[in-house]
Chain A
Amino acid sequence: AQSVAQPEDQVNVAEGNPLTVKCTYSVSGNPYLFWYVQYPNRGLQFLLKYITGDNLVKGSYGFEAEFNKSQTSFHLKKPSALVSDSALYFCAAYAGNMLTFGGGTRLMVKP
């Protein structure tokens, strides 16, 4: 069975500092990996995806993610956090004809 893990329920970072939200996956074959963000009372918004190719993927709002096959990880990063980045972040893997989500990580960016 495939699974996606986000080991941190919450990440706190000061505005202007770099941020990392961690994600590891366990799926068969070569997965397609995604990051989504959810703001209060809203659906999920797509940030970025890894399909194949360069291990560093750039996405919306200055976010990027690094795919590491040997560590089965797909961590989300941003060089300089904004207060408006505060939200719930989900990592997801597409395999077996379905999208499996991690449990989510709440990012809190403090001024």
Chain B
Amino acid sequence: KAGVTQTPRYLIKTRGQQVTLSCSPISGHRSVSWYQQTPGQGLQFLFEYFSETQRNKGNFPGRFSGRQFSNSRSEMNVSTLELGDSALYLCASSLEGTSGRNEQFFGPGTRLTVL
């Protein structure tokens, strides 16, 4: 079974630009969550999607948005990039996210650098 894939793996952008990151979950997984990992703030939850609906959102500004498609693939968008958005963005999928009983499977991440 293929794991969670994320594209691109590395991205360099400049301040003010916008970026879209993509995540393909494990086949059969309907829940996709996104996390931001930085040395200073650690791992922070961005949002979770289940069956094309955003079910939960972390404490991030509206510049961060996402969506999920009918095939469970998900995209995350960051508009008006700031230097502080430089981070490793991790996507994780699980069978279903409502109960939290199922472990999440993480992709390798997209390393975003904002110059």
Residues on A facing B (Cβ under 8 Å)? 32, 34, 36, 41-46, 49, 51, 90, 94-95, 97-104
Contact = CB atoms under 8 A, between A and B. Distances in A.
Contacts of B4: 43
A49 B42 contact: no
A100 B100 CA distance: 11
Nearest to A52: B101
Contacts of A100: 45
A98 B45 contact: yes
Contacts of A97: 48, 55-56, 97-98, 100
Given A49-B103, A98-B48, A101-B42, 17 more contacts: A32-B99, A34-B103, A41-B108, A42-B108, A43-B4, A43-B92, A44-B92, A44-B106, A45-B106, A94-B100, A97-B48, A97-B98, A99-B33, A99-B45, A101-B43, A101-B44, A104-B43
B105 interface: yes
**Interface band, chain B:** 20 to 34
A42 B44 CA distance: 17
Interface in B51-80: 55-56, 58
| Main DSSP-derived SS at the A contact region | strand
Nearest to A104: B42
B107 interface: yes
A95 B35 CA distance: 16
A32 B42 contact: no
B25 interface: no
B90 interface: yes
A43 B42 contact: no
Contacts of A44: 90, 92, 104, 106
Contact of B106 (A43, A98, A102): A43
Contacts of A49: 101, 103
A43 B101 contact: no
